[in-house]
Amino acid sequence: MTESTSRLTCTDLIATASQALSDGGYSRISGKFPEWDTPTSRLFEDEYSVVGIVAFDTCIELIKSWPDVQGTLVDVISGHIGRQESKSWDGYLVLLSPALAPSGDKEIEAIRSNTTRLRKLVATGDDLRSATNIERTLRPLLPFGQEQSDAALGSVLDFLPKLLAKSDINEGTTQLLVDAFREQSPLMERLHQVQDKQ
Amino acid sequence: MRLLSIKLNGFRGFPREQNFDLDADAIVVIGANGHGKTSLFDGILWALSGKLPRLHNDDSRLVSMYSETGQARVELRLRDDRTGDPFSVTRSFDGKERRVALEMRERTYQGPSAEGKLIDLIWPDAAASAEPGEALASLLTCCTYLQQDLIRNFVEAASDHDRFSAVSELIGAGRVTELQASLERSKKAWSTATNQRQEELGPLRQRLAIVETRLAELTTRSSQLSPLITSEQWQKWWEDLTELNLKSVQVTPASREAPAAIDDAIKQLDALRRLSERRLDVLRTVLEDLQELANRATPELAPLRESTAKLRLELDTLKSETSEEQSRMAELRRHQAELREKNEQLKALAALALQHLTDQCPVCAQTYDKNATRDRLEAIVQGTHDESQIPSGPDKLNELLIRLEAKEKELASAESSLHSTEHIYNRRQITEQTIDKRLSEIGIAQFDECTREAVVSGAILETDTLLRRTAEMQRIGESLALGLAQSSAAAVIDELRRDADILRPDIIERENVIDARNRTGDLAQRMIEGLRDATSFVLEERLREISPLLQSVWTRIDPHPAFRIVSFFSQMVRGKGQLATIISDPVEDKKCELPSTVLSSSQLNALAVSVFLSLNIGVPNPPLAVAILDDPLQSLDDINLLGLVDLFRRTKERRQLFVSTHDARFGSLLSRKLRPSSEKGRTLVIELNAWGRQGPTVIMQDVKCDPVSLRLVS
């Protein structure tokens, strides 16, 4: 995998995307659909959706080929998943290219905005400067993960003694103040009692 | 905390009782506008917090106009994920009274205890707030319930400070802010009370200064005083006073009346002294008068009066002679004048007759001696005839006048001498009378004229002796009074010392208390500043933790082709926190702190939902693990809508998700996208149709999962 300054290759893109989807709970479908099992294309499935990833060396190729690629993915889905099943409506096509789009973003944006048959996630050139950019492109498909910081941190009031200690205020004194606040006791009287003892 | 069911009756758009099963991972509510979607979610918020900020907490708007009972009632059942125990909250409002009940497994709480217990169950942090219900409602509307009409408020309308406050509340820093505000209020009251004590100390210090000054004065003066009076001195003075016949009430020196008694006695002595002085003055004056009388003989008036009378007679005689002489001389002068007039007439007649002289009288024709007649006539004309001679006598008048003047002078001198002597005499008489009167006045009436000088001299001696004695008595009396005052001063000194002994420790104690209170005030001020920094610090820390999530959520929708980075920016400006949402273009390195200026309505909605969900999911201890979004899909174009639905699918894995939509087609998409992934999960669709005065027609159905989760892999 290549990082940062040098441009990513298709291999980088496919490898990184595959890893991200695998980490996100997707299973790679290999050895079943040859056209989706190449160095530049992969097929993944999870309990909700089917995801096809294709990397193109150039944006021209991407713009030219994406309808066919979409068609093959639709065929795969429709061929194996019944129309009554919800998953048959949950197909995603991820189109990647390390090259810059020749006419700006307009055509790429048009592909991204096209919602017929499948949802398309498209990233090219500047969008793909690093591996993290690929993960960002795939994010709509991934569960909330590392970016979520919902560890139970407790009440902010509990942190005050340590925070106010930076201002040279005794931790015990701050704790007494917090306790008084929680008990709705007179704050200054409680502080005064501490001062008296000291 | 998971919502299990809700029962609405008479509440907002549900005039009749309506039960909703909510025990699902995702609940999709589909209904046209005005069919009760928002009422359903409002019911959840009201049941939990007792507030509906969206309606400005106007309870009168809670009761449905078509309610048969005339009251709004909501019963919300929940399950505590920590214990697995279900409980229910029931609120009602009949237009006047509000009731709340919390039914738990072990007991049922009512009223304030129910509110307190509910806060304790849902969000214990809010208990420290002055208004827990409002704090909870604010928090729920910020991160749990994204209301349809406030959907873009967070990124569009709210000020940076409002946003800061809302997020502070959300991440728990709101309690720090409340603690800070509470401490500031408490410190203000504390400072006022301390200042009051300081003001009270002023008069005490002033009083001590006065006491110490007086003490110093009295102590210095007492050291200069003569020894204290003895009882013998005291007794003798009062006896002497009695000898002088002065009315006095003798008291003991130690008695309280002593100063007044001695003061009264001294005043009497003073009066006696003044009286004696006046008597002595009178006696001395009388003595002087007597001595003067003795030195001058009584003048003899009779000879003077006789000689004066004689002179007056002589003067009168002389005046009479003079008057007679003057009369005689006047008569003589009159006679001489008549003669002179007659002579003139005769001269005229003689001259006329000479002219007409003939031998015979022309009148009577008698004959006469013409020559003799001529001679006579010529003698008459010449004035040489005998009858024309004017008689004259001796003139004594001048002599008389000279004598009269001399006599008058002599009389004047005699009268002057008499007058002077009479004056001396009269003055002597007056002096005598004055002496008598004065002596009578001072009580010396009976005395012999010859010995009166000796009597007066004796009286002078006696009065002078009395005067000296009185003065001496007065001096001793004042000395005694001074002695008494000295004794009194000693008592005052003792009293002042006692006062000072009480005041000094009292003031020191008060000063110590004030110092201690000031130290506490200083500590509180440091803590206030620390809390202010802590609020900002905590917020920044939490926002830093939430930022990746915000970015993740925004990317999942990815509504803008350029502005693909979103972040929070917080800062403290003049002690006030500000929070902005910044979108940026990483390719062109452009930033915008006012997303509403560059994003479309659809994109703004996406941003609002991103912020809401990132806060909902990113908050460490949310009151409820629930996300409620009331029709968030308005104005979204297809691609953003798909992104949002994919986002909801992932949100459902972390939160019990409630989404409503007015679009049936989109509702169908949501139902399919949010389907359970297995039999363990559950997704409910609630359709609200055909609203009438009875309320909407409600259809609830489960969304089934796919029969095989992985089709291609298998």
Provide the ipTM: 0.83
Output the average pLDDT for chain B: 85
Which residue among A29, A142, A192 sits closest to B520, beta carbon to beta carbon?
A: A192
DSSP-derived 3-state class of residue B19: strand
Do residues B587 and B562 lie in contact, with contact meaning Cβ atoms separated by under 8 Å?
yes
Return d(Cα B525, Cα B531) in angstroms, integer: 10
**What share of chain B has pLDDT > 90, as a percent?**
29
What local confidence, expressed as pLDDT, does residue B154 receive?
Answer: 59
Q: What DSSP state is assigned to residue B387?
A: G
Q: Are A85 and B706 a contacting pair at CB < 8 A?
A: yes
Q: Does A74 touch chain B (CB under 8 A)?
A: no
Report pLDDT digits (tens) over B193-251.
999 999 999 999 999 999 999 888 888 776 665 556 788 888 888 888 888 888 877 78
Which residues in chain A (163-192) have CB-CB distances under 8 A to chain B? 163-164, 166-169, 173-174, 177-178, 181-182, 184, 186-188, 191-192
Output the average pLDDT for chain A: 85
β-strands A27-28, A41-45: how paired? antiparallel
CA distance B710 to chain A (A): 6
What local confidence, expressed as pLDDT, does residue A94 receive?
Answer: 95
Minimal-distance CA residue of chain A relative to B643? A140
Tokens of B206: 């002033």
What local confidence, expressed as pLDDT, does residue B284 receive?
Answer: 92
> What's the N-to-C CA distance of chain A in angstroms?
62
Mutate which: A188, A191, A192, A198, vs B, most B CBs within 10 A? A188
Which residue among A159, A164, A186 sits closest to B186, beta carbon to beta carbon?
A: A186
Q: Are A192 and B516 a contacting pair at CB < 8 A?
A: yes
The count of CB pairs under 8 A between chains A and B is: 191
Minimal-distance CA residue of chain A relative to B512? A196
Report pLDDT digits (tens) over A142-160.
888 755 444 444 567 888 8
Which residue among B172, B519, B587 sits closest to A195, beta carbon to beta carbon?
A: B519
Chain B environment of A191 (Cβ under 8 Å): 520, 523-524, 527
Class of domain B1-144+628-714: alpha beta
β-strands B683-692, B695-703: how paired? antiparallel
Return d(Cα B653, Cα B416) in angstroms, integer: 154
CA distance B681 to chain A (A): 12
Chain B environment of A50 (Cβ under 8 Å): 711-712
Q: Does A160 touch chain B (CB under 8 A)?
A: yes
CB count in 10 Å sphere of residue B81: 11
CA distance A4 to chain B (A): 14
CA distance A86 to chain B (A): 6
What local confidence, expressed as pLDDT, does residue B223 receive?
Answer: 66
Mutate which: B646, B705, B714, vs A, most A CBs within 10 A? B646
Q: Are A169 and B545 a contacting pair at CB < 8 A?
A: no
What local confidence, expressed as pLDDT, does residue B228 receive?
Answer: 65
- Map out the domains of chain A with their CATH numbers: 10-143 (3.40.1350), 147-197 (no CATH)
* Spans in chain B with pLDDT lower than 70: 127-128, 130, 148-163, 165-172, 222-228, 388, 446-447, 572, 574-577, 620-621, 623, 714
Burial class (CB in 10 A: 0-12, 13-18, 19+), B641: buried
Q: What DSSP state is assigned to residue B14?
A: B
Q: Are A115 and B638 a contacting pair at CB < 8 A?
A: yes
Which residue among B128, B173, B190 sits closest to A188, beta carbon to beta carbon?
A: B190
Chain A environment of B26 (Cβ under 8 Å): none
Chain B environment of A112 (Cβ under 8 Å): 561, 639
**What share of chain A has pLDDT > 90, as a percent?**
33
Q: Which H or E run includes B77?
A: strand B72-79
Q: Are A86 and B706 a contacting pair at CB < 8 A?
A: yes
Report pLDDT digits (tens) over A43-96.
999 999 999 999 999 998 999 999 999 999 999 999 999 888 888 889 999 999
Q: Per DSSP, what are the bridge partners of residue B108?
A: B103
What local confidence, expressed as pLDDT, does residue B90 receive?
Answer: 94
Dihedral class, residue B255 (left if φ above 0, else alpha if ψ from -120 to 50, else beta): beta
Minimal-distance CA residue of chain A relative to B189? A188
The whole-angstrom distance between residue B185's C-alpha and the CA centroid of its chain comes to 26
Chain B environment of A146 (Cβ under 8 Å): 548
Which residue among A48, A76, A147 sits closest to B552, beta carbon to beta carbon?
A: A147
Q: Which CATH architecture has domain B302-405?
A: Orthogonal Bundle (1.10)
Which residue among A43, A139, A169 sits closest to B530, beta carbon to beta carbon?
A: A169
Q: Does A110 touch chain B (CB under 8 A)?
A: no
Q: Are B712 and A29 a contacting pair at CB < 8 A?
A: yes
CA distance B638 to chain A (A): 7
Report pLDDT digits (tens) over B40-49.
999 998 998 8
What local confidence, expressed as pLDDT, does residue A2 receive?
Answer: 37
